Amino acid sequence: MSRLAAFALLSLVAVPAAAQTRHDTNAPIDFGADHIELQDRANRAVLAGNVKVRQGEMTLTAQRMTVAYTGQVVGGNPQVSRLDASGGVTVVRPSQTARSQFGVYDLNRRVITMLGSVRLTQAGNTVNGGRLTINLDTGRAVIDGSSVAGGGSNAGGNVTQAPGGRVTGTFSVPKRN
């Protein structure tokens, strides 16, 4: 890989925190869906159909999502600990859009992990892979070609891996005179 390509790749998938607005993981989580089932004994809610979750400047959409909460209530609100999403998962942040088949937002670790046919777009650049990890504290996004094989208990099905388990992409080139 040439030095220019390596630099461009690093600037896309490992954006330093100073270059991004830090995500407010303490912001309230607003949600909407066609159907919501509360499972209080299991400390979870299942949202289905056109699910849209918004926290601060970040929006997560999917067809289905399980919201796990701790059982503790602060200020009248249950304390959400994890979101598991499936079916056309999209995460939109001010300077990035990521798409995949499955996604997990671990609120305690402040990390989003996306699996299966991942596509990360930022400023005209696109990177494809099998797994994407976004650290919301640092703003760093790391993508690799690997993915979970088979169906885990949270995934509920097979996860597609990038061709050959590799990361691929396209970088925009500025016009030169």
Beta bridge partners of 52: 32, 61
Query: What domains, with CATH codes, occur in the chain?
Result: 3-170 (2.60.450.10)
Residue 124 confidence (pLDDT) = 84
Please state the pTM of the whole predicted model: 0.77
Own/partner pairs for 164-171, CB < 8 Å, 24+ apart?
Answer: 165/130, 166/129, 167/127, 167/128, 167/129, 167/143, 168/127, 168/128, 168/129, 169/9, 169/12, 169/125, 169/126, 169/127, 169/128, 170/125, 170/126, 171/5, 171/8, 171/9, 171/12, 171/125
Residue 82 confidence (pLDDT) = 96
pLDDT per residue as tens, the chain (177 positions): 433 333 334 444 443 333 445 788 889 899 999 999 999 899 999 999 999 999 999 999 999 999 999 878 788 777 899 999 999 999 999 888 999 999 999 999 999 999 999 999 988 899 999 999 999 999 888 999 876 544 433 334 444 444 567 888 888 888 887
CA separation (Å) from 122 to 37, 71, 170?
A: 35, 37, 11
CA separation (Å) from 149 to 23, 65, 146?
A: 31, 21, 9
What pLDDT, in 10s, does the model give residues 114-160?
999 999 998 889 999 999 999 999 988 899 987 654 443 333 444 44
